[in-house]
Homo-oligomer: A and B are copies of this chain.
Amino acid sequence: MNSRTVADLLSQDITIPEVDIKGWVRTFRANRFIALNDGSTLQNIQCVVDFENFDEALLKKVNTGAAIHVKGELVESLGKGQNVEIQVKTLEVLGESDPETYPIQPKKHSLEFLREQAHLRTRTSTFSAVMRLRSALSFAIHKYFNENGFYYMHTPIITGSDAEGAGEMFKVTNLDLNNVPKNEKGQTDYTKDFFGKETNLTVSGQLEAETYAMSLGKVYTFGPTFRAENSNTSRHLAEFWMIEPEVAFMDLPGNMDLAEDFMKYVLQYVLEHNGEDLEFLDKRQQDEDKRKPQAERNPMTLIEKLKFVTENNFKRVSYTEAIDILRNSKPNKKKKFNYIIEDWGTDLQSEHERYLVEKHFKCPVILFDYPANIKAFYMRLNDDGKTVRAMDILFPGIGEIVGGAQREERLEVLKQKMAAIDIPEEDLWWYLDLRKFGTAVHSGFGLGFERLVMFVTGMTNIRDVIPYPRTPQNAEF
């Protein structure tokens, strides 16, 4: 790899007599200025061709999307928009790109169109910025946990347990669907299937993560999870990635401390490392906003929104307090909310969460002690018998971004809660074992990775923040 990257060359402030670079043509202006990109940075490097010294047939092949190899001199640029440029000495076209058929032309394409060209869409500035940020966020997450004594754990993707109840599951099978074997009762005979029983794609690694927390202390998962829900919205995917830390001997306040510190760290990381991509997306959002009616515009720019999180303390408020605030709020009294808050016990909608963050507290908010009956069975029951030690973190523009809880560590209470929703003890014998042998207070939370990437990039459709989105009727590529 003797070639340099565009990022490397653009960071030079000296003249270099011989440079060698490969990349793809973004534009070729006036038969003279090639904007070359190689993915190493949002920026292109300008390659200046003295067209009189080059074969016309060769220059005809310098089209948008073509792969080229340039050698020349890196010099100070006299034009504006860049500090340095390459005076091209030799030019080779490695792979052509027919302008008649190449889908990614140097003009504005709709996001919908680009979704159909998902294999080429990272050749645009917007998607390359989004995917570089997705990568940086992933690394920041691993780095945070590594620096804080957590172990990364790969929880299983194929699961024989369907007890978590977080949503509808996909079946995994290698039975011949044209000829499904049946048992005596005329039902599918799963004993003939690969695993000898019914198996599904995981909806969460939490329960397995708890097993490792109760031996290794601090662990986290970061892996794909699945929902077979027929939700064709801009916020749902059938396949998405989740981060789930789980910590032994940590109670709910400790969980809040961890989540706040973690979220601030990863956002601070991209503010420090990905300024160029963030500024580009910030400007993109502002441009989009200009075309919208005032009421639909973002109250903050993208970067302001990230700093709103990193520079504010998260306000901790009980669900009960929050209901009081919402019930007495202007939009509730004036019936501006789509869902009017009346009684304690109702689940909050995104409009309520955003009101609390953006209008009432003007900072990120952590709600805790939710009604037991709107939360999962494994959350620790409070002494009041009606709330659980759950927490949700609410962010501007998006509402809930993190959901977590202190886990029910008491064997008898857990058994009762499982019985109440008909989860057989034998299905989760291993999960109950954690409460039989050396049980202790422990807590954790879950963060949907694509929700985080949406928050950071300002993209409003979840299909635009994952390389190849899986949604109802769509598993292309």
Instruction: Check if A440 sits within 8 Å of B152, measured CB to CB.
Output: no
Contact B477 A156 (CB under 8 A): yes
Question: A212 and B122: CB pair below 8 A?
Answer: yes
Is A348 engaged at the interface, CB distance under 8 Å to the other chain? no
Answer yes or no: A47 CB below 8 A from chain B CBs. no
Instruction: Name A138's closest neighbour in chain B (CB-CB).
Output: B152
User: Hey, which chain B residues are within 8 Å of A431, CB to CB?
Assistant: 119
Copies of this chain: 2
- Name A116-138 residues within 8 Å CB distance of B: 118-120, 122-123, 128, 131-132, 134-135, 138
Residues on the B chain within 8 Å of A159, using CB: 475, 477
A174 near B178: Cβ-Cβ < 8 Å: no
Q: Are B171 and A177 in contact (CB under 8 A)?
A: yes
Spot the interface stretch: A194-202, A320-328, A337-345, A376-384: A194-202
State how many angstroms separate the Cβ of A205 from the closest Cβ of chain B. Answer: 9
Q: Whole-angstrom distance between the alpha carbons of A223 and B437 in the complex?
A: 32
Distance A122 CA – B247 CA, assembled complex (angstroms): 15
Docked complex Cα distance between A96 and B96 (Å): 70
Stretch with Cβ within 8 A of B (4 or more), from A71-79, A394-402, A465-473: A465-473
* A368 at interface, CB cutoff 8 A: no
* Contact count band on A: 35 or more
- Taking a contact as CB atoms under 8 Å apart, the answer to whether B156 and A467 are in contact is yes
Within 8 A of B (CB), among A382-434: 409, 430-431, 433-434
Q: Is B439 in contact with A95, judged by CB distance below 8 angstroms? A: yes
Is B433 in contact with A224, judged by CB distance below 8 angstroms?
no
Report the stretch among A49-57, A249-257, A284-292, A298-306 that lies at the interface.
A249-257
Q: How does the 8 Å CB contact mask read for A436-453 relative to B, with 1 for contact and 0 for none? A: 111111000000000000
Mark the stretch among A1-9, A81-89, A455-463 that contacts chain B.
A1-9
With CB as the reference atom, state the residue of chain B lying closest to A207: B477
Decide: A5 and B149 in contact? CB cutoff 8 A: yes
Cβ contact within 8 Å between A152 and B180: no
Separation of A258 and B475 alpha carbons in the complex (Å) = 32
CB proximity of A405 to chain B, nearest CB, Å:
17
In the assembled complex, which residues on chain B have CB atoms less than 8 Å from the CB atom of A164? Answer: none
Of A97-105, A310-318, A349-357, the one contacting chain B is A97-105
Within 8 A of B (CB), among A155-172: 155-161, 168, 170-172
List of B residues within 8 angstroms of A468 by Cβ: 155-156, 208
Given contacts A120-B433, A174-B228, A439-B94, contact A467 B168 (CB under 8 A): no
Asked if A433 contacts B157 (CB within 8 A), the reply is no
Query: A188 interface residue, CB < 8 Å from B?
Result: yes
User: Do B151 and A224 have beta carbons less than 8 Å apart?
Assistant: no
CB pair A201–B172 under 8 Å, yes or no, is: yes
B120, A476: Cβ atoms under 8 Å?
A: no
List, in ascending order, chain B residues with CB within 8 A of A174's CB: 168, 170-171, 228
A239→B467 contact, CB < 8 A: no
Is A241 interfacial (CB-CB < 8 Å)? yes
Beyond A1-B257, A142-B142, A171-B174, 17 additional contacts (C-beta under 8 Å) are A94-B438, A95-B409, A97-B436, A102-B437, A119-B211, A119-B433, A119-B434, A120-B211, A122-B215, A123-B215, A139-B146, A139-B152, A174-B228, A177-B180, A194-B472, A197-B475, A208-B477
16 contacts between A and B (CB under 8 A): A22-B440, A23-B217, A39-B248, A98-B436, A119-B433, A119-B434, A120-B211, A122-B212, A134-B152, A153-B467, A156-B470, A171-B177, A194-B230, A194-B473, A208-B467, A208-B477
